[in-house]
Amino acid sequence: MSKVRIMTGNQAAAVGATLSGVQVVAAYPITPQSQLAEIMSQQIEGGKLKAEYVRVESEHSAMTVCISASTVGARVFTATSANGLLYMHEQLHWAAGARLPIVMCCVNRGVGAPWTIFNDQQDSLSQRDTGWLQIYCRNNQEILDTVIQAYRIAEKVYVPVMVCFDGFVLSHTMMPVYIPDAGAVRKFLPPYKPHTILSPEDPRNINPVLFPGRRENTEGVLCDGYMEMRYKLFAALDGARDVIIETDEAFAEAFGRRHGGMLWEYLTEDADVILTGIGSIASEATVAADLLREEGVKAGVVGIRVFRPFPKEDVRRALRKARAVVTFEKAVSYGYEGGLCSDLKAALYGTEVKAAVHGCIAGLGGRDVKARELAEAVKASLADIDDGRTEKTLWLNCFTG
């Protein structure tokens, strides 16, 4: 039987990891993730979770421990934020290249310099090309559920998964959360079956230096080169969509909750303009859509749940009737625009979807963003589109003069 508890996003993530039966936890504290690392250590020290907690001296070391533990067949967990995630960068590539099903929570926070402890998504979005699958949560229930789903996904496709949620906006905000029965989670999430082979009777090198071309091994078997390995990782992420959707559907059947698979929609069936974003800002956009409809603007919302692999087929379907799309992003690709805006344009290019796409950078470093301000930005974008200006990037609530 599920039970309801009032908890923060960090607590929800810790409960999800505990229910998933993780065996090794390695983490280094950094605001706003520190509470999550502390709860995991308390769970282990108090005997509620039979696992090893490895104290490390840095985030780079935390991921190194996770790589080692996953390689020998353990289910592992870690979490970080901001510059801590950037410090892991080298090892993020290693974990993905080694095809290890590590699950990590990124409690999104702006990166320095200048320093901020408040929320935006520049940290995780800057790591989009490391080979990790990225899932973004809009509330605390989704955080708990997604951590559990992430292990099932990772262990089917052998790709690490980053579960991202907004620092303070979710990590320290309390909400009612249904905690699923531990036995039901064990049924949903079978034991981890590692693909790595470590045996004295069958010794082998792990991740040796590869030459550019394919080569025969000592037994005369033609083995993949570096480029073939990169292609297999690309194919694994590109093909993960079906596993993500199947996992969300199986979760709904087991626990009665679904979170949309690759994306979720709100009032899109007759929408003329679509507001879109990642994480909690997309939830705020639903209130803005309601405000716009009160003024006669047929607005809807498409919330991007999975950013990598990018849900190209799903956004084409969801945006097929819209004449305008406005993205709200808590990150920016310097020198161009928001990454979500660019990816949406690329996904729609050459298709029957002809909606104009405007980008809006909002909420960097925790800058407050209200629903009415999102609504006003949409109206301004629609006016520009009507005047023929189809390219635009707005910095919302930013004094650029």
Summarize pLDDT for 329-344 with one digit per residue, the tens: 999 999 999 999 999 9
In the predicted model, is pLDDT for residue 1 greater than 70?
A: no
CA pair distance 90, 103, nearest whole angstrom:
17
| Best CA proximity match to 157, nearest among 83, 238, 37, 226 | 238
Long-range (24+ apart) CB contacts under 8 A made by 245-250 are 247/149, 247/152, 247/153, 247/156, 248/149, 250/152, 250/188
Share of the chain above pLDDT 70, in %: 100
In the predicted model, is pLDDT for residue 161 greater than 70?
A: yes
How many degrees, rounded to 5, is the angle at CA 23 between CA 64 and CA 140?
Answer: 90
Within 10 A of 310 (CB to CB), how many other CB atoms are there? 22
The tokens describing 366, both together, are 């925790």
In the predicted model, is pLDDT for residue 208 greater than 90?
A: no
Average pLDDT over residues 302-318: 98
User: pLDDT averaged over the chain?
Assistant: 96
In the predicted model, is pLDDT for residue 245 greater than 80?
A: yes
In the predicted model, is pLDDT for residue 65 greater than 80?
A: yes
One DSSP character per residue, 95-123 reads HHHTT---EEEEEE---SSSP--S--SHH
Average pLDDT over residues 102-106: 98
The predicted structure's pLDDT at residue 207? 87
CA pair distance 395, 182, nearest whole angstrom:
45
Per-position b or e across 5-14, b if 16+ CB within 10 A of its CB:
eebbbbbbbb
Ranges 133-142, 147-156, 187-196, 292-301: which has the least confidence: 187-196
The predicted structure's pLDDT at residue 318? 97
| Best CA proximity match to 279, nearest among 159, 120, 156 | 120
Average pLDDT over residues 239-244: 97
Average pLDDT over residues 70-86: 97
CA pair distance 277, 397, nearest whole angstrom:
17
In the predicted model, is pLDDT for residue 110 greater than 90?
A: yes
CA pair distance 82, 122, nearest whole angstrom:
8
The domains of the chain, with CATH numbers, are 3-193+240-255 (3.40.50.970), 263-395 (3.40.50.920)
Contact 167, 107 (CB under 8 A): yes
Tens-digit pLDDT profile for residues 254-269: 999 999 999 999 999 9
Tens-digit pLDDT profile for residues 212-236: 999 998 889 999 999 999 999 999 9
Question: pLDDT-derived band of residue 203, with 50, 70 and 90 as boundaries?
Answer: confident
| Best CA proximity match to 111, nearest among 147, 130, 86, 133 | 86
The predicted structure's pLDDT at residue 206? 86
Average pLDDT over residues 53-79: 97
Tens-digit pLDDT profile for residues 343-377: 999 999 999 999 999 999 999 999 999 999 999 99
CA pair distance 104, 75, nearest whole angstrom:
11
The predicted structure's pLDDT at residue 401? 60
Question: pLDDT-derived band of residue 379, with 50, 70 and 90 as boundaries?
Answer: very high
DSSP 279: T
Question: pLDDT-derived band of residue 302, with 50, 70 and 90 as boundaries?
Answer: very high
How many degrees, rounded to 5, is the angle at CA 349 between CA 347 and CA 355?
Answer: 90
| Best CA proximity match to 328, nearest among 295, 387, 287 | 287
Higher-confidence residue: 196 or 177?
177
Question: pLDDT-derived band of residue 177, with 50, 70 and 90 as boundaries?
Answer: very high
The predicted structure's pLDDT at residue 326? 97
The H-or-E segment that residue 265 falls in is strand 263-266
Share of the chain above pLDDT 90, in %: 91
The predicted structure's pLDDT at residue 205? 82
The predicted structure's pLDDT at residue 400? 76
Question: pLDDT-derived band of residue 296, with 50, 70 and 90 as boundaries?
Answer: very high
